[in-house]
Amino acid sequence: MEYTILKPSTEGTVVLLTISRPSALNALNTRFFEEMDHFITTIAADPGIRALIITGEGKAFVAGADIAEMVGKSPEEARAFSAVGQKVFNRLGDLPFPVIAAINGFALGGGMELAMACDFRIASANARFGQPEVNLGLIPGYAGTQRLPRLTNLADALYLLTTGEVIDAETALRMRLVQKIAQPEELLDEAKRLAVLIASKGPLAVKLVKEVTRKGLEMSFHDAEKLEQNHFGDPFGNEGKEGMTAFLEKRKPNW
């Protein structure tokens, strides 16, 4: 597929994906989801990739879904548009390596939902966050009502979802919506530093940690504990053996 919205580039084992639709503040439309779905399929099959960073071009990360496209949809078409977005964002979260949102500006509506679908969020000091769908008489459609309370808490989630209020990066940090704030000129460097740090760890271990932690959130503690136990043995005899041997031999592991 030829990408018209996505701009991927690779630096070693890290992929940087820039959403480039600046004239529309990178608003999410059908073409975006088609390209992202294809991109996820491609990158998931590449064993050399250890991390993905997503950012936006211009003054927005993503300012929301494309209202001009949505306004003419019937209720049935709107539900289908929601289903597509949820499927793509779930696939993004299921990638076997960390996905880092480098939020360079407005992350509103679908843009905030995209950021929440990532594993980590690093925000520029001038980033702004919000779920303003109620201002349009709508609700989030890409699992914003579900991810937000899981990342923050019920009261803060409902506050943002019902008021449509836009918050700054410091408030997002206090709500635990983002993990770190960087100056605008240092945002991508900070995201890359995190990506390279995680990429230096055992790739199977990182994959398993992500899988077990995400799945465990949807399970009882006892069942999640069993899931961890079952996967604990997976690296033994291969990557785990190399890591432990390297530790004992006081050398860097050869992943």
pLDDT in tens, 86-106: 999 999 999 999 999 999 999
One domain, residues 57 and 91: yes
pLDDT in tens, 192-211: 999 999 999 999 999 999 99
One domain, residues 124 and 14: yes
One domain, residues 52 and 75: yes
One domain, residues 192 and 207: no
Q: Does 237 score more than 90 pLDDT?
A: no
Greatest C-alpha distance within the chain: 65
* Catalytic positions, written as ranges: 113, 133
One domain, residues 207 and 157: no
Domain boundary, last residue among 182, 199, 216:
199
135 secondary structure, DSSP code? G
The domain in which residue 237 lies consists of 203-248
Burial 51-81 (b: 16+ CB within 10 A, else e): bbbbbbbbebbbbbbbeeebeeeeeeeeeeb
Does 255 fall in a domain?
no
Q: What is the CATH number of the domain that holds 103?
A: 3.90.226.10
pLDDT in tens, 173-182: 999 999 999 9
One domain, residues 91 and 140: yes
Does 133 fall in a domain?
yes
Q: What is the CATH number of the domain that holds 240?
A: 1.10.12
Nearest Cα residue to 182 out of 100, 114, 93: 100
One domain, residues 98 and 211: no
Q: Does 36 score more than 90 pLDDT?
A: yes
One domain, residues 97 and 163: yes
Nearest Cα residue to 62 out of 94, 93, 33: 33
Average pLDDT, the chain: 97
Q: How confident is the model at residue 50 (pLDDT cuts 50, 70, 90)?
A: very high
One domain, residues 23 and 135: yes
Does 254 fall in a domain?
no
Asked if residues 75 and 83 have their Cβ atoms less than 8 Å apart, the reply is no
Overall number of domains in the chain: 2
pTM here is 0.95
Does 237 fall in a domain?
yes
Does 1 fall in a domain?
no
One domain, residues 233 and 187: no
